[in-house]
A = this chain, B = another copy of it.
Amino acid sequence: MYSIGIDLGGTTIKGIITGDNGYRSEIIRIPTGTASGGDGIMDTIITVIEQLMQGMDSSVTIGGIGLGSPGFIDTDGVVLGGAENLPGWEGMHIYEPIRQKFGIPVIASNDVTVMAFAEYCFGAARGINNCVCIALGTGVGGGLIIDGQLYSGTHGMAGEIGHISVDTNGRECNCGQRGCLEQYVAAPSVVAIAKEVCRKVKYMKTSEFVNSVIENPDIVTSKFIYEYVVKGDPIACHINEIICDKLARAIGVVANILAPDRFVLGGGVMMSGDCIVETVKKYVARYCWRSIRNRFDIKAAELGDEAGVLGAAALAMRGIP
């Protein structure tokens, strides 16, 4: 059997064809083009599917199309919310237009849930039946594998790990709470914290990192920061410790509730910061029951930015009856 996986992102829509014989096509990438609203995004998704099919051997039949999307996707394929980066996408019915166009069953889920499924099928969570994936990107999301199944919660809304408050009096979040995890470990937050710390210690002229950040704040990204962490810059390392302490708090909370076998950390921030896993491990024992802590491990995601398409294709392969 063959299936198509689509990964809908804020800037790019990616697509792949995979087969249960291990076949993987080239990944097709087209800019999302959010200017024409929800219908425009749907048109681009259909274009990606058409291009994939054009490149296909005529003997291949597609059994299903899977799609990972930002936001909450209910079981009927309706986008209920949480997709602020995609204007007009909320309220869209994902299944109907694709089914009508191609006559193939469609299944959609939240992008981080789909990433978790990819890591469960092919990556860092292979064979791990109770697993929590945390994606540290522009925002912070969670994907849950429970008893070997994707768990999406009521109306696809589970996994809002980014809004666990890790500091009661901490940084304000647009959700109305204070100290949400997202305010510390999402890429823009990591950058904001780095700039704040550097402004406070700008007298430390000996640090090349601090000088660079103060002189040219626009070049600061999580990748930039983690290059200095790797070099051992003390201020960059201090920022890493702040971030990992907060992440460890959230992992502790989730571990106390779900007692999973493994946490998998992925997303853009993780791609810059290999060392995050080790630093988080150092802190996490403080924030959960000892007997629980001794029974889970923490690993970096293995599939990088291919997790979205691979997970969506796997979902189509396994999730459509």
* Contact surface of A with B, Cβ cutoff 8 Å: 72, 80-82, 130, 142, 144, 146-147, 149, 151-161, 163-170, 175-177, 179, 249, 252-254, 256-261, 286-292, 295-296
Contact = CB atoms under 8 A, between A and B. Distances in A.
A259 B160 contact: yes
Ranked 10 nearest A-B pairs via Cβ = A153-B259, A157-B259, A160-B256, A158-B259, A168-B168, A81-B291, A154-B259, A157-B292, A167-B168, A163-B256
Contacts of A289: 82, 157, 160, 163, 175
Given A80-B291, A154-B296, A249 B165 contact: yes
8 contacts: A130-B154, A146-B151, A147-B149, A154-B295, A154-B296, A156-B259, A163-B289, A164-B257
A289 B173 CA distance: 11
Contacts of A166: 168
Contacts of A177: 252, 286-287
A151 to B, nearest CB: 6
A62 to B, nearest CB: 28
A258 B291 contact: no
A81 B286 CA distance: 18
B292 A160 contact: yes
A135 to B, nearest CB: 14
Nearest to A161: B257
